[in-house]
Amino acid sequence: MPSISTKGHQMPESPIRKLVPFAESAKKRGTKVYHLNIGQPDIKTPQIALDAVKNNNIETLSYARSEGSETYRIKLANYYKQHQINVSENNIIVTTGGSEALFFTMGSITDAGDEIIIPEPFYANYNGFSTASGVKVVPVISKIEDNFALPKIEDFEKLITKNTKAILICNPGNPTGYMYSKEEIEKLKEIVLKHDLFLIADEVYREFAYDGLQHTSVLAVKGLEQHAIVIDSVSKRYSMCGARIGCVVSKNEAFIATAIKFAQARLSPPTYALIASEAALDTPQSYFDDVKAEYVIRRNTLVSELEKIEGVKVAKPKGAFYCVAQLPVADTDDFARWMLESYHYNNETIMVAPASGFYSTKGEGKNQIRMAYVLKKEDLIKSVAILKNALEAYKA
């Protein structure tokens, strides 16, 4: 019988999606499931983006340019300028989601066996992208006790080897919701310049910054021009996860020239999704103001309700729409599955993402979960009530 590759065996399961069969079974039994497991916003996509596709009169659905249409990239560069990021359309390659942007980046800057340092917990698919690229993830642990702030620079420095090519951050963070301050970005700048590394920043949640805090892009920091690479996407910003349009942005010409070869190999990003994404850039600021205000209400609701449960510790997010909670259970993988398989509260249950899948250090995060506050306030209150009852029943 033909064998499966070692790489295939090593590819990790998604901690976000692996429980889906159990959720589907629960629904078939008549149990309502509140989905706090995945960052799929319930916010409406801007109508201007939907109308651009609906009203289009394309007669031949042809390939787009490999780097994305020039009109979209010019508008995208103007969007970045509004966020104090001075780039041109030639610094941008449009990708099929932020996922492909990460693949292009790893393919362009690493060889098999090279290393990327990532503060953990981190977006679970970083493990998958690195495995597929033959890259070793070197984790540096951030702690819930510190609200998942940037680990000490000394912790980074002692992990750097001759194989280290980059530091990768998600800012604001998935799964923690932590947003790095300008001072923390400056600390990272110091170490990447000292060791001549790339600083990759996944900035797909840029718009979701709370409490009057300002997001600092690595592309807006002087001195990082040849080191900074930004991963971006329309998925969360415009609630357009299904469009699968992202981009990679850098002022490093050699990097962009290399990444474009990967873009050419996959031909082009999807044409209709490009049209929708270009139109979405005309979304008025009032849309973001309303969305942000809604997420602040949801964040405050979820955190305050979780803090009422004895034995639960929760980090307060500064951005994005996730939080990590530490539960008084030994194994949240088992607990999350049990809530779907064997439990209901008034014929309702919740689906969460066990946090161990957001770590690459074995044994870390076993008592933590990630919760996405992508549901309305009333449903979040119900969900935490279900969680509280589930914890009591699980212990019993």
Would you say residue 35 lies in a domain?
yes
Q: Are residues 272 and 337 in the same domain?
A: no
Closest CA to 218 of 199, 241, 238: 199
Would you say residue 1 lies in a domain?
no
Residue 288 amino acid letter? F
- Between CA 365 and CA 54 the distance in angstroms is 44
Res 17: pLDDT:
78
Q: Are residues 29 and 60 in the same domain?
A: no
Would you say residue 372 lies in a domain?
yes
List the alpha helices (DSSP H) in the chain: 6-10, 20-28, 47-54, 70-81, 97-109, 125-133, 153-157, 182-195, 253-265, 271-280, 285-307, 332-341, 377-395
Res 315: pLDDT:
95
Burial degree of 179 (CB within 10 A; 0-12, 13-18, 19+):
buried
- What is the number of residues in the chain? 396
Would you say residue 85 lies in a domain?
yes
- Give the residue from 245, 280, 315 where a domain finishes: 280
Would you say residue 64 lies in a domain?
yes
Helix (H), strand (E) counts: the chain:
13, 13
Res 281: pLDDT:
98
Q: Are residues 38 and 57 in the same domain?
A: no
Q: Are residues 149 and 16 in the same domain?
A: no
CATH number at residue 110: 3.40.640.10
Q: What is the mean pLDDT of the chain?
A: 96
Q: Are residues 138 and 37 in the same domain?
A: no
pTM of the model: 0.96
Res 56: pLDDT:
93
Q: Which domain holds residue 374?
A: 6-44+286-395
Sign of CA dihedral 191, 195, 196, 200: negative
| DSSP category for residue 135 | P
Instruction: Tokens for 249, please give them.
Output: 């942005």
Res 295: pLDDT:
97
Q: Are residues 54 and 28 in the same domain?
A: no
CATH number at residue 37: 3.90.1150.10
Res 118: pLDDT:
98
Pairing type for strands 115-120 and 136-141 reads: parallel
Would you say residue 169 lies in a domain?
yes
Q: Are residues 336 and 245 in the same domain?
A: no
Q: Are residues 37 and 106 in the same domain?
A: no
Q: Are residues 52 and 40 in the same domain?
A: no
Res 40: pLDDT:
87
- Between CA 61 and CA 70 the distance in angstroms is 17
Residue 23 amino acid letter? A
Tally of structural domains, the chain: 2
Res 12: pLDDT:
86
Q: Are residues 251 and 173 in the same domain?
A: yes
Pairing type for strands 322-326 and 313-314 reads: antiparallel
Res 254: pLDDT:
98
Res 385: pLDDT:
98
Res 14: pLDDT:
80
Q: Are residues 180 and 262 in the same domain?
A: yes
- Give the residue from 280, 301, 319 where a domain finishes: 280
Q: Kindly list the distances between the CA atom of residue 333 and the CA atoms of 9, 351, 365, in Å, as whole numbers in the listed order.
A: 20, 11, 10
Q: Are residues 268 and 290 in the same domain?
A: no
Would you say residue 259 lies in a domain?
yes
**Residue for token digits 């980059």?**
166
Res 181: pLDDT:
97
Run means of pLDDT, 10 residues per run, the chain, 396 residues: 91 82 96 94 94 95 96 98 96 97 98 97 94 96 96 96 98 98 98 98 97 97 98 96 97 98 97 97 96 97 98 97 97 97 97 95 96 96 98 95
